[in-house]
């Protein structure tokens, strides 16, 4: 019967080829490298395994622009990058990200006490950027108080605003906001969780 045959044709067409995750990964990686080679990727990112968990490392052509800690949702971080920098965000290789991964590995191994990486500060501005630049000057293994970084940034009374700047640090670990403690030495809060902050401080004290 013609009617039934039409249904058969439809049934065959509706069948799904078995998904092949390995092939998909390969195709996606090739797209990333071709897009990168053509200069079509404004923000390239990779995920990197660290002792804190998997972190996201994003870079523009200028330099490292965002480090996402394991507590942060990847979709939200990528949406923020799309909204604030460019929608051309792609998981793609980039020299500065590769170099950041290498230096982070050394840091977590206790073999590196400062980072030498190009940074793109565009996700922070004004007083917040001043606070983070002051924070970037705190040496490895040392700590400062929120009041001290507020003073360094030029507004000694803006302790609370300094706290906000540190809480929204787009480049944690590399810009060491974990080295800023409450007056009196209480550990204070951290975007990646107080436990991660304590862990970074321990690492720097024991290395």
Partner 1 sequence: MQARTRSIATTTRHPLGLPPFARVVEDHGPALLRFCAARVGHERSEDCFQETMLAALRAYRDVHDPSAIRTWLFSIAARKAIDAHRASARLHQPTDDIEAIAVGEDPAVRDEALWDDVRSLPDKQGRAVTLRYRADLTYAEIAQVMETSEPAARRNVFEGLKRLRKDTDHART
CB-nearer residue toward partner 1: 85 or 173: 85
Q: Which of 133, 130, 101 is nearest to 117 (CA)?
A: 101
Residues that bind partner 1 (CB under 8 A): 2, 5-6, 8-10, 12-15, 17, 19, 24, 27-28, 30-31, 34-35, 38, 40, 42-43, 45, 61, 75, 78-79, 81-91, 121-122, 125-127, 129
Tokens of residue 22, six digits: 């390995």
- Answer yes or no: 177 catalytic: yes
Minimum CB separation of residue 177 from partner 1 in Å reads 19
Minimum CB separation of residue 7 from partner 1 in Å reads 10
Name the active-site residue from 41, 52, 78, 177. 177
Minimum CB separation of residue 20 from partner 1 in Å reads 10
CB-nearer residue toward partner 1: 34 or 111: 34
Minimum CB separation of residue 190 from partner 1 in Å reads 26
How far is Cα of residue 48 from the mean position of the Cα atoms in its chain? 9
CB-nearer residue toward partner 1: 28 or 205: 28
CB-nearer residue toward partner 1: 7 or 142: 7
Which residues form the catalytic set?
177
């Amino acid at each position: 019967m013609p009617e039934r045959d039409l249904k058969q044709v439809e049934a065959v067409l509706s069948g799904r080829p078995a998904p092949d995750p390995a092939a998909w990964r390969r195709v996606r990686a090739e797209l990333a490298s071709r897009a990168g080679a053509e200069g079509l990727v404004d923000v390239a990112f990779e995920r990197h395994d660290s002792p804190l968990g998997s972190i996201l490392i994003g870079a523009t052509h200028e330099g490292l622009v965002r480090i996402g800690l394991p507590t942060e949702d990847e979709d939200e971080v990528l949406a923020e990058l799309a909204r604030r920098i460019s929608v051309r965000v792609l998981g793609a290789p980039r020299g500065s990200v590769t170099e950041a991964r290498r230096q982070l590995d050394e840091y977590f191994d206790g073999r590196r006490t400062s980072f030498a990486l190009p940074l793109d500060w565009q996700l922070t501005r004004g007083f917040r950027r001043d606070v983070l630049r002051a924070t970037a000057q705190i040496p490895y293994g040392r700590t400062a108080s929120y009041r001290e970084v507020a003073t360094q940034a030029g507004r000694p009374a803006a302790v609370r605003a300094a706290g906000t700047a540190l809480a929204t640090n787009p480049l944690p670990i590399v810009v060491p906001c974990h080295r800023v403690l409450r007056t009196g030495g209480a550990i204070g809060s951290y975007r990646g969780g107080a436990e991660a902050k304590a862990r970074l401080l321990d690492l720097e004290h024991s290395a």
